[in-house]
A and B are shown apart, each in its own frame.
Chain A
Amino acid sequence: MAPVAKLRLDQVSMTFKTPAGTFRALAPVTLSITQGRFVSLIGPSGCGKSTIFNIAAGLLQPSGGRVFIDGAEATGTIGRVGYMLQKDLLLPWRKVLDNVVLGMEIQGLPLRRARERALPLLRRYGLAGFEYLYPNALSGGMRQRAALLRTLLFDTDVILLDEPFGALDAQTKLQMQEWLLALWADFNKTVVFVTHDVEEAIYLSDEVHVMASRPGRVIETIAVPIPRPRQRHVTLLPEFITIKERCLELLALDHNAAADEAA
């Protein structure tokens, strides 16, 4: 028997009713993500990446289709996947440590035990010395680390990351990518990653899903057969560049289609 997909979206679609009529945010999308994979979604703004995440996290009831986690239906159930939104959303009245334990706390773990579990991880993953500071004392990169650790410590197998490094400067972004890959290797999570940055998507992922807008849909799935661990210079390999060219081509293609549609 073939292994059951960790996270599976089956013909998931979304339409919104607006005063101007119905708006198709998402055409039926089917995605199947295997345990332990790192998968990226790229596409133009408004192609429904965030809608997919909201549906997968149970925060949005899809107009059609179903969500499966480990083969069991999970459409519209919350708390089954870790979800990191674009903003870090650290609570300013809690210290970094208490922000990071939020997920465990909500799941009912006593605060003391949650802190005991979180503390060594904070120290191991670059937040040593920041445990008892308030978030407003942290830099953008440090805040993203704290937000990511909060998502990881929320003990779900699947984590959804919505443009976590979008607001960081180029230098910090590269550091954070390495940091994320180290975490991913240690925790054995299934990661779905949304980004605008094609190079980032390919560098991090096993598989890149390219999306198009109006309506949002997946137009092509590209495997990234570059072995891991990857050094930074893999971005210069011919196969990397071929994949990148293909992605950019697909994104540009969609742009033209949208322009034709408008004309």
Chain B
Amino acid sequence: MTMQETSGIGAPLDLAPAQPAAAQPTATALPAKPARRLPVQKDWPLWVIVTVQIAILVSFIALWQVAADYGWIDGFFWSKPSAIYATLIKFFTEGDAWVDIGFTFRSTISGFLLGTTIGSLLGLSFWWSRNYAAIVQPYLICFESLPKLALAPLVILVFGMGLASKVAIATALTLVVSTLTTYAGVKALDPDGEKLFYSLGASRWQVFRKLVVPFCLPWVISVLRVNIGLALTGAIVGEFIASQHGLGRAILYAGETYDIALVWVAVLVLSTLAIVMYGAVSWLERILRKGIRQ
């Protein structure tokens, strides 16, 4: 920039016609570049991050409490932290908190285990016959795209109000995901790997056990975390529709009786349960991954 300016001003004063003509092309072709540094972001230490996170949470709760106390928000619809805390204590000391938690936990885990196991086996079974896989696939895709929760009322009718219907819904949600993911693993199998096994004189069962299953395990494992969330969703929806126990039923009941503090308590407990189960499954996944070294 400065070069261009000085040569532009300097030219008429100089009275030498050759100079500006020679200086012009270089001046227009190369405007001076601003010196630019690589942007560097400094990482804060962990304790600062955690402190900020806690501060945000605490101020959110405090603001909620103050807003409800001073009538900025309607305390009846939104409830307030102090009321929620009182209800929480009551829920665990007087109510049947542990029955509800146990019920939701049992239906979630049963549905998760059933859906993941059956789904993975179904996915692996497609390795055995391409024809069978081709026949079954459209049905599988139909079942996947179907909003399975829409069928929940029907499931309740067939399986009743008890645990079985919740397990059935949780299973239906997890089964297809496991099947399709495991089948993706089967399809990713290198045909040369099978060739190696057959060249060693292997039977189909040996190829399945020693190659297909260990190869597909990472796919089976990769859906565990997704499935635990889906199973919980299935169990809660089942409880929403018809149930005598469970955190889903507690939320629905509290909502119907305008006990908003209890809604928050049940949601809080449910979230805690979800986090605990997610953590447990993540831990299981790490152990399994270490075991197979993929």
Contacts and interface: CB of A to CB of B under 8 A. Distances in A.
Q: For the complex, would chain A's binding face be called helix, strand, loop or mixed by DSSP majority? A: loop
A106 B196 contact: no
A107 B192 contact: no
B91 interface: no
B203 to A, nearest CB: 8
A81 B214 CA distance: 26
Interface stretch (A82-90, A122-130, A190-198, A231-239): A82-90
Interface string B265-294: 000000000000000000000000000111
B197 interface: yes
A106 B200 contact: yes
Contact of A92 (B199, B200, B293): B293
A234 B199 CA distance: 35
B55 interface: no
Contact of B199 (A57, A91, A105, A136): A57
B154 interface: no
Contacts of A134: 293
B201 interface: yes
A89 B192 contact: yes
B200 A79 contact: yes
Taking residues whose C-beta sits less than 8 angstroms from the other chain, chain A's interface range is 20 to 34
B211 A59 contact: no
B195 interface: yes
A59 B293 contact: no
A87 B201 CA distance: 19
B198 A85 contact: no
Nearest to B199: A83
Interface in B177-207: 190, 192-193, 195-202, 206
Given A91-B214, A93-B214, A102 B293 contact: no
| Size category, B interface | 10 to 19
B196 A89 contact: yes
A7 to B, nearest CB: 14
A106 B202 CA distance: 6
A164 interface: no
Chain B interface SS verdict (over half): helix
B91 to A, nearest CB: 47
B294 A93 contact: yes
A154 interface: yes
A93 B293 CA distance: 6
Contacts of A92: 293-294
Contacts of B293: 92-93, 134, 136
Given A85-B192, A91-B214, A93-B292, A107 B201 contact: yes
A182 interface: no
A85 B190 CA distance: 12
A78 B201 contact: yes
A85 B202 contact: no
A40 B198 CA distance: 24
Given A87-B192, A91-B211, A102 B200 contact: yes
B214 A79 contact: no
Interface string A101-123: 01101110000000000000000
A105 to B, nearest CB: 8
A78 B198 contact: yes
Contacts of B206: 106
Contacts of B202: 78-79, 106
Q: Which of B193, B195, B199, B217 has the most CB of A within 10 A?
A: B199
Contacts of B196: 83, 85, 89
A93 to B, nearest CB: 5
Interface in B196-251: 196-202, 206, 210-211, 214, 217
7 contacts: A54-B195, A79-B202, A83-B196, A91-B214, A93-B214, A93-B294, A154-B200
